[in-house]
Structure 1
């Protein structure tokens, strides 16, 4: 693959060469890539305002369009959806609206939706969090699934499908053998591990949750995303908490359920211990463009 796009914050963009081979994952290559590709200039933020934890996809069947969803926390009416043809110019489609059952505290609400496209359908998996409740209280975490054929039509989106998981940052993954999985993280006070289960996304039925990786030792491993490429399963994660120690790490395995081998170049992205303008860089996602670049 010739390139990669990895995004973070509300909403800034970074272009990196990335083949997903561990020997080539190195953030220092980003500046060189930008220097040799004059057509890849981005003016940040590409989406102004508060849009943390972006999850993005490219869908050729929908007029070759990029789509992004992001966290909204206690801001309503719900999950913001943006669309773009070129990754430079973005338009707010609308908000995937949720019923507001109570006043939410500062850090409650929608945490880190994952947006995916599979079998002609758009999927959003996310967590509605009640931050007033203890991290070990199962009712704190309301994990939900939404499905739609047309992201531009709010009537197309399904009602929320709930599933059991005492954590957050949940995401779906469809394997080549037809099996479907959900991945998620736990609050650091509960346990520093990333977990996975087989699941039925149409019903919310889940199997046994199993730990697949504990990260590299950074605080609060979270934001798991799995990608399949060249016979490997690549697990992208965030570590270090959401403060100045935030970072992106990666591991890989020959098997979906592990064991996962940590990238020796970890962290693959961080601005920790730098004077760079953008800080707290950590929660990330990867996607392909129309040419197959990551």
Structure 2
């Protein structure tokens, strides 16, 4: 079989849930505060994947306005019961401090592309739930349990309870069936049945460099569950120099010919301080059932960078320049998302072959900001756009941003001085949690003509970011500002303490109008150009 390099879903694609229906494979991943919610990719061969839908796309299913950074949609679980697709997800409203608010929901659909149903609210007792369809037709809701009295960690174990799809409610007794191992922080459960055994796959160790996939089993769904002989079937915690780090939160799938694979999240750190700018990505490992009826990862438990898969990967599209134009009849390209709001018409529209952003709240707002961006999926790339924007003062600004969260972004803006004269200014917030201090890296703003389009660009080469610009009609881009440390656009610098930041770097366009005048920033196109950088340790 062909040898394929991990990850299979590069860039921010965390917490994979995998499913096979016939000859088709599907992976659902977390989207956190980015809208619409949940990414579902499709493949025929486990090697080549296409984004086909984001199912949580209306207000009744998901409204994340006010959700803090790295809250929102956590760890979806995608299953099929032979009749329809089921999707379980958490919309986290608060995660820091003494409590977590974690409402859990279930939606369903006849086809994976939708339409998806209105959600059933289940409970808020924990996060990362899954749905298990047993052979007798019963459906079981499997979830981690939060206990705010338990210190210093509030992770209390894995709880099992039957769910009735007719009433949309949990029924019967519930039981804490697995407290986890000494690694602690047990979460992300998936339940399977094979040869009379119930297998419980969980994530442990947090989302950082101690992350792991743990397996346990029982003859009875209620337990007791015994631990795997290796305890953790996948982890990089004891292999600090492995290419794939932070390996954990897995799910398994069988191929039609009986092979078994484990998908899992992973991170590829760069720089001396090990920062995962591309966030938590989805990787895959070949696994096998041994004579003791336990699952083992081939060459594990440390994940392999290269894995044999049924198909050979075609990287042509991955390395191709993506030039995005804007056509109202087609809509926004599927690569783009925005933040939190289920009312995108309030922050952008496609009109006159332009993407027109309506200036709303400040960059980094948790409620309503006009920011449209795509994932950074390469360690080195170029980005470029042309903006038409006529601000009246410093409270109106719009432009090109490399963005992680409210605490971590670089933003080249067209704005104006208090006297109304238009100018070019860089705004930067560099890993300044918890203060969120804004910096102005250039001594003086660059004056601009009062009217006319401006070309804005940036280059990222590993950990180095450089902004560039030019006036309309000028062929040569000019550098502006210093070379920034792009590695801060990472989970490790994401504005939280350990195990608190979960997304990845984005690049896109944004607009703010603090005067409440709804000024329009118009963008002609957007270019994302991958660059093969010989200093990149993952280049092939």
**Above 0.5 in TM-score?**
yes
Contact 1:250 / 1:267 at 8 angstroms: preserved in 2? yes
Superposed displacement of residue 195, structure 1: 0.6
Paired residue for 2:18?
A: 56
CA deviation string 1:98-132 (max 9, x = no partner): 42251321121000001111122111111110125
Structure with the largest fraction of strand: 2
1:262 maps to 227
> In 2, Cα distance between the equivalents of 1:197 and 1:211?
9
Where do 5+ consecutive residues of structure 1 fail to align? 1-38
Q: Does 2:98 align with 1:141?
A: no
Asked if structure 1 preserves the Cα contact closer than 8 Å seen for 2:188 and 2:203, the reply is yes
1:284 is paired with a residue of what secondary structure?
strand
Are 1:171 and 2:135 counterparts?
no
Pairwise CA distance, 1:249: 0.9
- Aligned counterpart in structure 2 of residue 91 of structure 1, from 50, 67, 75: 50
Kindly indicate whether the alpha-carbon contact (under 8 Å) linking 2:76 and 2:89 is maintained by their aligned counterparts in 1: yes
**Are 2:215 and 2:233, in contact at CA under 8 Å, matched by a contact in 1?**
yes
Q: CA deviation at 1:285?
A: 0.2
Alpha-carbon offset, residue 293 of structure 1 = 2.2
Distance 1:165 1:130, change over 3 A: closer
What do the CA deviations read for 1:188-220 (whole angstroms, capped 9, x no partner)? 733431111011134331133310001112121
Question: 3-state SS of the aligned residue for 1:285?
Answer: strand
Q: What SS does the aligned partner of 1:282 have?
A: strand
Residue in structure 1 matching 2:92, options 121, 125, 129: 129
Matched, 1:273 2:238: yes
Q: Alignment partner of 1:50: what SS?
A: coil
Asked whether the equivalents of residues 161 and 202 of structure 1 are also in contact (C-alpha less than 8 Å), the reply is: no
CA offset digits 1:253-279 (Å, max 9, x no partner): 000010001112111110013111211
In structure 2, distance between residues paired with 1:69 and 1:290: 20
Matches within 5 A, 1:75-114: 75-96=34-55, 97-99=57-59, 100-114=63-77
TM-score scaled to structure 2, two decimals?
A: 0.44
The alignment covers a number of residue pairs equal to 249
- Name the SS of the counterpart of 2:80 in structure 1: strand
Q: Secondary structure at the match of 1:168?
A: coil
- The answer to whether structure 1 residue 228 and structure 2 residue 171 are counterparts is no
C-alpha contact (below 8 Å) 1:193/1:211 kept by paired residues: yes
SS in 2 for 1:244: coil
Query: Is the 8 Å Cα contact of residues 130 and 189 (structure 2) preserved in structure 1?
Result: yes
Query: For 1:186, what is the secondary structure of its paired residue?
Result: strand
Q: 1:200 to 1:43 in 2, by over 3 A?
A: same
What is the CA deviation profile of residues 223-274 of structure 1, one whole-angstrom value per residue up to 9, with x for unaligned ones? 1111100010011111111111111111110000100011121111100131
Rg comparison, structure with higher value: 2
Deviations 1:69-114 (A, max 9, x none): 0001111111111101111111110211242251321121000001
Is the Cα contact below 8 Å between 2:75 and 2:89 reproduced in 1?
yes
Aligned to 2:31: 72
1:207-218 equivalences under 5 Å are 207=171, 208-218=173-183
* 2:9 maps to 1:47: yes
Q: Which residue of 2 aligns with 1:199?
A: 163
Per residue, is there more helix in 1 or in 2? 1
- SS of structure 2 residue aligned to 1:225: strand
SS of equivalent residue, structure 2 residue 125: coil
Cα distance, 1:245–1:133 mapped onto 2, change above 3 Å = closer
Aligned-residue CA RMSD (Å): 1.7
Report the 3-state secondary structure (helix = DSSP H, G, I; strand = E; otherwise coil) of the residue aligned with 1:216: coil
Please report the TM-score for the alignment, with normalisation by the length of structure 1.
0.80
- Give the conservation status (yes or no) of the 8 Å contact 1:136–1:166: no
For 2:2 and 2:67, the matched residues in 1 are separated by 40
Asked if the contact 2:64/2:72 (under 8 Å) is kept, the reply is no
Q: Deviations for 1:137-177, whole angstroms, at most 9, x for unmatched residues?
A: 5xx1110001011112x32x111111124101101112222
